[in-house]
Structure 1
């Protein structure tokens, strides 16, 4: 038993020695290998790529610089919300980089098709956007994400980066607005996000609560919602609970807590970039199985706040900051 435990401890020590630790490294650097590692394999180098990721194509080092920022969002068919959230955020990213081409792409191919059919508006997929940029002679691309957590959608963003980076002289990909949690001297994105989100909270009486509806994901990043709940509790914002449509915790997880605290009135609000189908129907719809209807059937008085995160100026500022990080990594020599 003792030998087995010692062996495990040695393996952990070797792993830490291989990857090193972060001490005073800028946030965009993410992680750095221990300088004692002299023969890092490609797999070890790739495993250490967290935070803002950077690829420089040695074969194209003499190509002229022609730069673009590619903004990736899941997208929405709800036109009004899209204009108030996604489009407004992209406009602010463009304003921060007035001399740079900024392109928006939607990762949901279904939404791209529906918008094309219903509105005649052709928003590209990431694959199409990068093909067009390459065709037009762009050689350096900073990819930035409008994702909230690094879940399934962000995995798509980084897959795009991995698959297309060799087509360009240099490519970077930034992080969602929540990535770092204050670990290893990194900043705490979750705490910053909670402060930004709280700017839209109503004042709460003792018997009132806010239920923040996240999307949820089968990806392990679903655990971010527990960290958000921890930071909400630490911020002493009153009775604020996170639940999700498709992940954990569920509405059923939260309701017993509301009853135990004697909550009588709740406000529902989405923790999603847009107020789309989930916010308008799953959360606030008139159907018996909507979250609003379920809570009312349990005796709660329910208000709904149907606005996407992109309508919150403090949250948009975080998205612009993430775009700036991807851009700064692109510019760094």
Structure 2
């Protein structure tokens, strides 16, 4: 059973149990006041690091750049990582903060309960990999669970679903790249440890595009076929002794802060990418941005042009509900 089918089955059973004790479905439909407009759900993996402000940046841009006729629409956030939700919610509770990270199933169930029958889900995934497939499986399970309620759900694409979008993203990164005279660049991505995941095609495609277009820019991943080892080996061959790490993740959170730019070796002695390059005699840096007076590593979510690709996808889905 693949990931998508497993999620679909689990989701269907969970939602069925939720509604098994709620009484007559059709009676509920007759008495509930249904919402006319769609709701928008942003689905993110989540982070418990200070980089969570990346989501605030997107939220502000979304509310500003949505066409005027959509700006009154309800916007909710869902966080797909169970570990992140648990850690964040424990912290919220400890700090006395009246806030909770909800799963995609919880958010959509809540919207349905409030009378929404049209929902747009936009995942903030970069690659069409395991996490994105999980969202698709979850949504399909929710569609089946709520089929008697007339619930319609549209799901957006990840950033690199199409080769044309990949070209656009590479283009918008160019101002942040060092020239060959200045040094080398390493784009740091997440990767996937599974050989049979379709996202591997995208990783390899991106790696190929970068190598054809730039002599000093390489792709590495925390796990996966486009490896850390190959990227750093290429970087060590650079004549200019500066390496710039460019986070190729939506949020430059734990992986970037520790695996890539960590200042101390791990307990097992493994060095961060930065420390390994420094040991080889290189100066290292990473792209950063100042947001509301504080400096953060610059994940892809801090590029307005990247967010605009997602927002354009949201608008296209909203248009489908106008007919």
Q: Is the CA contact 1:75–1:111 (under 8 Å) kept in the aligned structure 2?
A: yes
Match of 1:128 in 2: 106
1:193 corresponds to 2:181: no
1:103 corresponds to 2:94: no
Shift of 1:207: 5.9
Structure 2: state its 5+ residue gaps. 1-25, 266-270, 288-296
Match of 1:249 in 2: 226
**Equivalent of 1:276, from 238, 253, 274?**
253
- Could you list the per-position Cα deviations for residues 263-282 of structure 1 after superposition, in whole angstroms to 9, with x for gaps in the alignment? 52211121111121001000
Match of 2:156 in 1: 174
Q: Is the CA contact 2:187–2:217 (under 8 Å) kept in the aligned structure 1?
A: yes
State the TM-score, normalized to the length of structure 1: 0.73
Shift of the 317–102 alpha-carbon distance from structure 1 to 2, 3 Å rule, reads: same
- Tell me how far apart the structure 2 counterparts of residues 77 and 321 of structure 1 sit (CA, whole Å): 28
- Could you list the per-position Cα deviations for residues 118-176 of structure 1 after superposition, in whole angstroms to 9, with x for gaps in the alignment? 13320211011011011101001111110001111101111122111242432111101
Give the secondary-structure state (helix, strand or coil) at the position aligned to 2:321. helix
- Tell me how far apart the structure 1 counterparts of residues 273 and 231 of structure 2 sit (CA, whole Å): 12
Structure 1's consecutive aligned runs of 4 or more residues displaced over 6 angstroms after TM superposition are: none
Match of 1:321 in 2: 312
- Tell me how far apart the structure 2 counterparts of residues 133 and 283 of structure 1 sit (CA, whole Å): 39
Residues 257-268 of structure 1 aligned to structure 2 (within 5 Å): 257-268=234-245
Shift of the 73–312 alpha-carbon distance from structure 1 to 2, 3 Å rule, reads: same
Match of 1:92 in 2: 61
Shift of 1:296: 1.4
- Of the structure 1 ranges 209-218 and 317-326, higher mean CA displacement relative to structure 2 is found in 317-326
Shift of the 90–330 alpha-carbon distance from structure 1 to 2, 3 Å rule, reads: farther
- Tell me how far apart the structure 2 counterparts of residues 192 and 291 of structure 1 sit (CA, whole Å): 27
Shift of the 301–308 alpha-carbon distance from structure 1 to 2, 3 Å rule, reads: same
Give the secondary-structure state (helix, strand or coil) at the position aligned to 1:178. coil
Number of corresponding residues: 262
Residues 1-333 of structure 1 aligned to structure 2 (within 5 Å): 65-79=36-50, 81-83=51-53, 85-95=54-64, 96=66, 97-119=70-92, 120=97, 121-166=99-144, 167=146, 168-181=150-163, 188-199=164-175, 201-206=176-181, 208-217=183-192, 218=194, 219-234=197-212, 236-288=213-265, 289-305=271-287, 306-331=297-322, 333=323
- Could you list the per-position Cα deviations for residues 79-101 of structure 1 after superposition, in whole angstroms to 9, with x for gaps in the alignment? 3x212x21221332233131211
- Tell me how far apart the structure 2 counterparts of residues 232 and 325 of structure 1 sit (CA, whole Å): 30
Shift of the 284–108 alpha-carbon distance from structure 1 to 2, 3 Å rule, reads: same
- Tell me how far apart the structure 2 counterparts of residues 78 and 117 of structure 1 sit (CA, whole Å): 14
Match of 2:16 in 1: none
Shift of the 294–131 alpha-carbon distance from structure 1 to 2, 3 Å rule, reads: same
Structure 1: state its 5+ residue gaps. 1-58, 182-187
- Could you list the per-position Cα deviations for residues 42-66 of structure 1 after superposition, in whole angstroms to 9, with x for gaps in the alignment? xxxxxxxxxxxxxxxxx99xx7744
Give the secondary-structure state (helix, strand or coil) at the position aligned to 1:303. strand
Q: Is the CA contact 1:154–1:176 (under 8 Å) kept in the aligned structure 2?
A: yes
